[in-house]
Amino acid sequence: MDARTLINLKDYPIDQDGPERDALITSIQRQLDDDGCAVLKGFLTPLAIEMMTAEASAVAHHAHRSFNRTNAYFTKDDPSLPEDDPRRRFFDRSNAFIAADHFKKSGALRTVHDFPAFDPFIQTCLQQEAFYRYADPLADVIVNAADEGEGFPWHFDTNNFTITLAIQMADEGGMFEYAPNIRQAISDGKGENFDDVRDVLDGCSDQIRTLKLEPGDLQLFKGRYSLHRVAPLKGQTPRYVAIFSYVETPDMVGSPERTKQLYGRVLPIHLERAGLRGDHYLD
C-alpha cells in the first residue's frame, strides 16, 4: 500500500521541502500557539477514508467498551480534598477504544503513520526537539469508536500531544470542545490551574471552543495541556477517530490504572514502566 494514494499531498505537500510546506508549517504553528489546536481539512484522500473506515469497522468488535465515572485526571477520589475540587468531580464516561495491536502494519492506518515524511512534519509543526512516538504497544495508534449516546467527558490526555485523523463521523453530535492551554508547563503540579478547570466543569467558563471535524481531517492538539471532551453522539452511524500519540520522553507508556480503564487489559511493560514520566501532573 502506498501512502501517496492515501494522503492529500497536493494540498499538503508534507514530503516536499519548499515554500508551500514552509507556509503550511507556519500556519499550523500559529494555530497551536494561539489555542493549542490546528486542523488540516481534507488531509486524507477519499480512498484513504474508505479504506480506514473498512479497517476500523472490521476490528470494531475488539473495542474495549467501558461505562463508569471518571474525573478529568483519571484518578481515584480523594476524600481529603474539598467537595468542589476538580479532582473530586466525576462524570459518566461511555466510550470504546480499539487498541493499537489490532491494526496491521500493512493496513491504511499504519501506512499513513509510517510514511517517512509524517513524523518529521508533525515534529516540525509542534516545534519539539524532544519528540518520540508513544512506546505503549496498546496505545501508539488507536481508534476511538463511539455509538449513539456515547461520548467522552472532560479530561486531559496522558501524552503531551495528540494527533487525530477523523475517519467517520456520527449523524449528529460528537462535537469536539476544548479549553486551550488551561494547564501551564510548570513542574511539581503547580500549573494545574484548578480554579479554571472548575469553571469549565461548572459550565461557566469563557475559554471553551467548539470544533466540528469531518472525515479526512487531521488534527494536531496539545491534549496534555488543554481540557477537552467529545459531546454525546446521535444517530446510527458510529464515530471513528484514529489517534496517533507522541511524547517528550522516550519509552513512555500509560499507567497501569489508566491502561486498564481504556483498553481492558495491562501488559507487563505497563507494570515495568509505571511512574516513568517527564512531568509532574496528576495523571
pLDDT tens digit sequence for 183-222: 875 655 568 999 999 999 999 999 999 999 999 999 999 8
Tell whether the model's pLDDT for residue 282 goes beyond 70.
no
**Digit-coded pLDDT (tens) for 111-163:** 999 999 999 999 999 999 989 998 999 999 999 999 998 888 999 987 778 89
When pLDDT is averaged across residues 5-24 and rounded to a whole number, the result is 97
Copy the grid coordinates of residue 68.
463508569
User: What span, in angstroms and rounded, lies between the C-alpha atoms of 22 and 81?
Assistant: 48
User: What span, in angstroms and rounded, lies between the C-alpha atoms of 29 and 251?
Assistant: 26
- pLDDT, residue 262, reads 85
Of the candidates 98, 96, 134, which has an alpha carbon nearest to the alpha carbon of residue 113? 134
Q: Looking at beta carbons, which pairs linking 151-154 to residues 24 or more positions away fall under 8 Å?
A: 151/94, 151/95, 151/229, 151/230, 151/231, 151/232, 151/233, 152/93, 152/95, 152/229, 152/230, 153/70, 153/72, 153/91, 153/92, 153/93, 153/229, 154/72, 154/91, 154/200, 154/201, 154/227, 154/228, 154/229
Helix axes 118-126, 19-35, angle to 10 degrees: 50
Domains of the chain, with CATH numbers?
3-272 (2.60.120.620)
- pLDDT, residue 244, reads 92
- pLDDT, residue 283, reads 58
DSSP secondary structure string, 77-141?
--TTS-TTSGGG--EEEEEEEE-GGGS-TTSHHHHHHT-TTHHHHHHHHHT-SS-EE---TTTSE
Tell whether the model's pLDDT for residue 164 goes beyond 60.
yes
Output 170 or 66, whichever has higher pLDDT: 170
